Structure 1
């Protein structure tokens, strides 16, 4: 039977009697059962005699450290969730404790409101049955999350390869705590899916998941977007508005492409993460926030630290736990499973039939290099569904006179620098976006040359009228009104 707040037992370890009493009274008022200890030895005696739901320990004790108690619990495979208290500015101690398995940390002097929030978060879901194959201290889908929601999120990480199994196991293992997670992987590998799985498998699954693309926000709006703004704080601020931190209260804040944040904003983000407090733009008061940080990047942040583009202290704080997603080329055995999952998803979204995958279609797909990873594979399959006929899936072969743009030549196994599309001066960071832009430019030019007559343009490019309609819609090409188009377009 899951533990309730009124039945939860907590061990508080601190060598300062006044603080120990303050923590004890605060917890007793919340309805918890509380025991205290003033040293490592006293704590060990308490732990030897009984089990607790949560242990809260100062890092510095007269006869040792809170880290020793934490490691002892881990070695004995005990289920107590550990919260450590560190001195202000001791970021390294907090990070080391989180890496060693601490549920969360608090910075001294402790803010009592934050203290209550962290303890409540640690208590939530304790007492459920552990996940098979995962130790009680690392169980995730039993630690307060919705099992169906967690299972669904893990299933979204499609693939049975050893590399993907390792990713899923790591997600399940680290989801339960508050330790920041940095997800690293090439573009298109599914970093947001990992963030969603971490959230769904955590005790915060009932709270919000707020996903933020750090590279898509103008620099002058970053502070207001992250921390909120008060009415009148800037031109156009006609009312108070919350930021991402407030929106993610009690849940998870996913910071995608964290490497794109400018240095000035990195400093402000670091303080918000360390202090768990933010100050909205135009406000004189700080607000406590309770969010878990999951960040992601395709960049080498360690290299950016060396070049001064990324703050070392922020990197250290974000990279407490790292999950690395393999590129598609490193798990080619997952292609059949991925294709089936993507085809069902795309067919459901578009209302079209789900084509069969046979030996020929799988052979075609296996020959593609797919440097854009799963995102690029999804785009290839989307085109094949939209442009294909009944029967097994077929990828249109590129040719000079046929359907040359239904499968970009750069994706063909026969493509080469001599025969393929001209490469840009610098390799694009998002291959699919670059290919779409090339296709769009060609279509716009061809439409202009043929007076925006879609039938004539399709004939000129060697594709069907259905195919050119699909491309115009997909690429968002605006056509002149009927009155301005040349006569003769019977499409």
Structure 2
């Protein structure tokens, strides 16, 4: 019986050439119920992986006969279900980022913080337990990602890989493509699924309250601070924090966020000491962060820290084949929630949707269906019920019909115009219409478009629309 119990104990491979470190890690893991096999070289680690099975591997970055990153790559190829964590020198974030790009699950800095080590080991074992889960089962979380296009199939695969490690992820994509959904799926499919998922729109927080909202504050630290309040980092303890529209963070706050991510601790406003936090960071933005860095609007060091892995969400116009599936998913739900009789789309309505450019992506599709359902008294929605703007076909359709007309009746031919210009021609009248419908109130217009007020200001500036431009 004791022998059988020993076989069921989780096993870790620890790779380091310092005997004191090996003893410390072995004792710490033993107290967690893990059996540790310790080796001191890259060669010995490879031999151990070939000869036995391990649930978790912790390796130093610098080994006598090689680099720990090489072991990460080797393990990713030979035993991809085993999480590998890296031990790096204190403050050496470049090495940590390189290791995670190579496939490392997470990292811990020297000198070892035993609390962080225990949390890392526990998260790695949870990740190991979830590594063999099927991500495309009929009742799995990824069924929320509707579509069967090559882009969506590839996205499901990438999300599955990202869910198994703790590397910071930056989700890029236009507004309405589902960045929060993708972040939620990464969380649900990973080892932190039982802990909180906390999304926050950085552009929706007033600049003078960002630090308090993220890090918390102590009573009396500023006017109105009548009691201690934990921040969003503490609210996400053990789970995942989504920093949506991270490009909207003020530059001074970007410095403090970088430190919080690197040190895995936060200092509440008015507090004398930092508070340790165990949070996975996922960030997102519809803006090009590399351009923001070049303009000096976003810190380069923070960009490299959050952009370890970039997950790009395709716009709906690039996967029009998924539109029928999306409609079949959305329309019954909308009908049930609103009491609308609309249950299906006529052929002309489906054709109109498939030939529409969708500058607002899936969010706009949902809004179109909701509006049409609310106004339609029939069980079948027609193209007229959709009330689509008079826009050109999608770029995909244009490629099949090079002689197609301009995207707007009043715009010049676009056959030789860049995609960005064509999209601007689509976006400009939508912004002007939203402003007109909102009596030139930017906040109401932003809400109508599903944007933050700051995003609307940036788009108006980019399109050359003066604040009082209504023509």
Q: TM-score range by the shorter chain?
A: 0.7 to 0.9
- Contact (CA 8 Å) 2:342, 2:380: kept in 1 or not? no
* Displacement after TM superposition at 1:307 (Å): 1.7
* Displacement after TM superposition at 1:180 (Å): 1.0
**1:328: which partner in 2?**
316
* Displacement after TM superposition at 1:436 (Å): 3.8
Cα displacement string for residues 4-28 of structure 1 (whole angstroms, at most 9, x for unaligned residues): 9982111222222222222221111
1:370 paired residue among 342, 353, 358: 358
1:224 paired residue among 198, 212, 220: 212
Cα displacement string for residues 319-352 of structure 1 (whole angstroms, at most 9, x for unaligned residues): 1111111111111111111122121222222232
* Displacement after TM superposition at 1:396 (Å): 3.4
TM-score with structure 2 length normalisation?
A: 0.81
1:440 paired residue among 438, 441, 453: 438
- Contact (CA 8 Å) 2:131, 2:164: kept in 1 or not? no
Partner Cα separation in structure 2 for residue 181 and residue 387 of structure 1: 41
Kindly tell me: are residues 416 and 431 of structure 1, through their superposed partners in 2, closer, same or farther at Cα, counting changes over 3 Å?
A: closer
* Displacement after TM superposition at 1:297 (Å): 0.8
Cα displacement string for residues 122-150 of structure 1 (whole angstroms, at most 9, x for unaligned residues): 01253567246xxxxxxx68xxxxx887x
Partner Cα separation in structure 1 for residue 428 and residue 120 of structure 2: 39
Partner Cα separation in structure 2 for residue 5 and residue 83 of structure 1: 23
Partner Cα separation in structure 1 for residue 8 and residue 276 of structure 2: 24
**1:421: which partner in 2?**
none
* Displacement after TM superposition at 1:242 (Å): 0.9
Unaligned runs of 5+ in 2: 394-406, 412-423, 442-447, 450-471
Q: CA RMSD of the aligned region, Å?
A: 2.9
Unaligned runs of 5+ in 1: 133-139, 142-146, 398-405, 419-425, 444-473, 476-491
What is the SS of the residue equivalent to 1:438? helix
- Contact (CA 8 Å) 1:212, 1:255: kept in 2 or not? yes
Kindly tell me: are residues 280 and 273 of structure 1, through their superposed partners in 2, closer, same or farther at Cα, counting changes over 3 Å?
A: same
TM-score with structure 1 length normalisation?
A: 0.78
Partner Cα separation in structure 2 for residue 335 and residue 128 of structure 1: 31
Partner Cα separation in structure 2 for residue 220 and residue 442 of structure 1: 27
- Contact (CA 8 Å) 1:372, 1:431: kept in 2 or not? no
Cα displacement string for residues 419-458 of structure 1 (whole angstroms, at most 9, x for unaligned residues): xxxxxxx989898776444223299xxxxxxxxxxxxxxx
Residue 388 in 1 paired to residue 376 in 2?
yes
Count of aligned pairs: 415
Kindly tell me: are residues 188 and 215 of structure 1, through their superposed partners in 2, closer, same or farther at Cα, counting changes over 3 Å?
A: same
- Contact (CA 8 Å) 2:57, 2:83: kept in 1 or not? yes
**1:184: which partner in 2?**
172
2:387 paired residue among 402, 407, 411: 407
Q: Aligned runs of 1:294-333 on 2, under 5 Å?
A: 294-333=282-321
- Kindly indicate which of the two structures has a greater share of residues assigned to helix: 2
- Structure showing greater radius of gyration is 1
**2:199: which partner in 1?**
211
**2:414: which partner in 1?**
none
